[in-house]
Chains A and B, each alone.
Chain A
Amino acid sequence: MQTPKPSLTFSVHPSSGVPIYRQLMDQVQALVAGGKLAAGDTLPSVRQMAADLGVNMMTVSKAYAKLEAVGVLDRSRGKGMVVTEPKTAGSVADRQDQLRPLADQAVVRGLQLGLTSPQILDVFKASLGDHKS
């Protein structure tokens, strides 16, 4: 799969209270989690995505940079942003460290929604159940 994913897969709502870069991050992560974006898939270039969505390029590059920081995307020379392989190398602690920012984000969101710790844990457990291989 070398062809970039069309920006049509993405949609943003500029007037939402959620910043556009976070909307994009959430959508990429959801597509990866749902198997619609697989390792090695290429995302549209920053310029392309910004033009198609009619938003500022800075917003798109910010979303990409943050996704790169959490290890969902990899900047590949000449290909742009590529979805990373699920990582199985490195120590368990290392890999847990990589997961932590995402878990933090989910927990904060859960707290924002007024969920209790056990209720948040239930969501994680249910999600793990869905993805058992």
Chain B
Amino acid sequence: MNELAIEVTGLAKQFGAKEVLRGVDLQIPRGRVIGLLGLNGSGKSTLIKCLMGLLKPTSGSVTVLGRDAWHLDDQQKIQIGYVPQEISLYPWMTVRQTVDYVSAFYRTWDTKWSDELLRRWDLPLHDRFGPLSVGQKQKLSLVLALGHRPALLILDEPVASLDPVARRWFLESILEMAADEQHTVLFSTHITSDLERVASHVALMKDGKVVFHDELDVLKDQVKRLRLESAADLPASFAVRGSLCTEVEGRHAIVTVPVVSAELIDELKHRWTADVAVEDLNLEEIFLELHKH
């Protein structure tokens, strides 16, 4: 068995003249929970659709569970769970009927587990799909994606419409699934606090590329905001190499650096005769710093 659940190399995708993905590289070993972050239009959904074999890459390669994503067969598909951003199911089917219908496609469907999820999420079994609220539709879609205990779960903004209680249940279900370190979960989201709770790794997308992919802890340990207070006014040319963003006003400067180190702090102290204070940043703050200009 291939140790990588997902392997993307040099992936580009164009729609007409519009380049959405411009050379995505991403390797995800089995057993990880990885959060995919990026602004609207950064290419998250397009990447996910390429992973699912729903879109054909313009160039580059996409391998999922050891097989080319465009040519996934039953063997792989049965191991994948997917929640799309827009959920379309038969409006006239009840919740129960929908689950029965979808489960029939899977040899490995775990009815006890799907019943448990339906109960946890308080879904009205005898209501038709059509009139369900957006949040309820999303919950049902999650049950359908989780019910066969997929080895790889891919979710495109799974929690956008969920209330806080349902979100917490969802996160706990993800953690339960990932607990054996065999199941891989990739989810895109804008809710960074959810990602911080369950994800071991984070991939940041910007302008059609993955600009950062590592442990979330590494990101938090490395990206820091430095506050400098110099003895004299700082020159307009004040800059720190590699910084993500810099603000200077008189004797004060605020610089966000991608990798903090004791040497860097010492260097700044000596060069500018400054006191340097280091601030921790959470994921949302780091995300905002990355998109400041």
Interface residues of A (CB under 8 A from B): 14-22, 47, 50-51, 54-59, 62, 108, 111-114
User: Using Cβ atoms and an 8 Å threshold, which residues of chain B touch A21?
Assistant: 217
Given the interface pairs A14-B193, A21-B217, the reply to whether A57 lies near B278 with Cβ below 8 Å is: no
Choose, from B15-23, B38-46, B61-69, B282-290, the stretch at the interface.
B282-290
Of A16, A47, A55, A114, which one neighbours B275 at CB under 8 angstroms? Answer: A114
Contacts of A56 on B, CB cut-off 8 Å? 33, 175, 178, 197-200
Q: How many A-B residue pairs have CB under 8 A?
A: 68
Q: Does A17 contact B285, Cβ atoms closer than 8 Å?
A: yes
Chain B residue at minimum C-beta to C-beta distance from A18: B280
CB distance from B289 to the nearest CB of A (A): 12
Please pick, from A17, A55, A59, A111, the residue contacting B265 in the complex, using a CB distance under 8 A. Answer: A111
- Name the A residues within 8 Å of B221 (CB-CB): 19, 22
Check if A15 sits within 8 Å of B262, measured CB to CB: no
B277 in the interface, Cβ–Cβ < 8 Å? yes
Question: A15 near B179 (CB under 8 angstroms)?
Answer: no
State whether B284 touches A19 (Cβ < 8 A): no
* CB neighbours of A111 from chain B (8 A): 262, 265, 278
A-contacting residues of B (Cβ < 8 Å)?
33, 168, 171-172, 175, 178-179, 181, 192-193, 196-200, 216-217, 220-221, 262, 265, 275-285
B217 touching A62, Cβ below 8 Å: yes
Task: Please tell me if the beta carbons of A57 and B168 are within 8 angstroms of each other in the complex.
Answer: no
- In the complex, which residues of chain A have a beta carbon less than 8 angstroms from the beta carbon of B276? 114
Q: Is A17 touching B282 in the complex (CB atoms < 8 A)? A: yes
Given contacts A17-B285, A62-B217, 11 further A-B contacts (CB under 8 A): A14-B197, A15-B192, A15-B196, A15-B282, A18-B280, A51-B175, A56-B197, A57-B178, A59-B200, A112-B278, A114-B277
- Whether A112 lies near B217 (C-beta < 8 A) is no
Select from chain B the residue with minimum beta-carbon distance to A46.
B179
**Residues of B with C-beta under 8 A to A51:** 175, 179
Shortest CB-to-CB span from B178 to chain A, Å, is 7
Chain B residues whose C-beta falls within 8 Å of the C-beta of A50 in the assembled complex: 175, 179
Knowing A56-B175, A114-B276 touch, does A19 contact B200 (C-beta < 8 A)? no
Q: Which of A14, A16, A54 has most chain B Cβ within 10 Å?
A: A14
In the docked arrangement, what's the CA distance between A16 and B276, Å? 21
Contact of B168 among A18, A54, A55, A114 (CB under 8 A): A54
Closest to A50 in B: B175
Q: Looking across the interface, which residue of chain A has its beta carbon closest to that of B194?
A: A14
Interface contact A54-B193, CB-CB below 8 Å: no
25 contacting pairs across A/B (C-beta < 8 A): A15-B192, A15-B193, A15-B196, A15-B284, A17-B280, A17-B282, A17-B285, A18-B220, A18-B280, A19-B217, A19-B220, A19-B221, A21-B217, A22-B217, A51-B175, A54-B168, A55-B175, A56-B175, A56-B197, A56-B198, A57-B179, A59-B200, A59-B217, A108-B262, A111-B278
- Contact for B216 among A16, A19, A57, CB less than 8 A: A19
Task: Give 6 nearest A-B pairs by CB, closest first.
Answer: A17-B280, A112-B278, A19-B217, A14-B196, A14-B197, A114-B277
In the complex, are the beta carbons of B198 and A55 less than 8 A apart?
A: yes
Interface residue from B181, B193, B275 paired with A57 (Cβ < 8 Å): B181
A15 to B: closest C-beta gap in Å: 5
Q: What residues on B are CB-neighbors of A55 within 8 Å?
A: 175, 197-198
Contacts of A15 in B (CB 8 A): 192-193, 196, 282-284
Query: Which chain A positions have C-beta within 8 A of B199?
Result: 56
Query: Which of B172, B193, B196, B277 makes the CB contact (< 8 A) with A113?
Result: B277
Smallest CB separation, B57 vs chain A (Å): 31
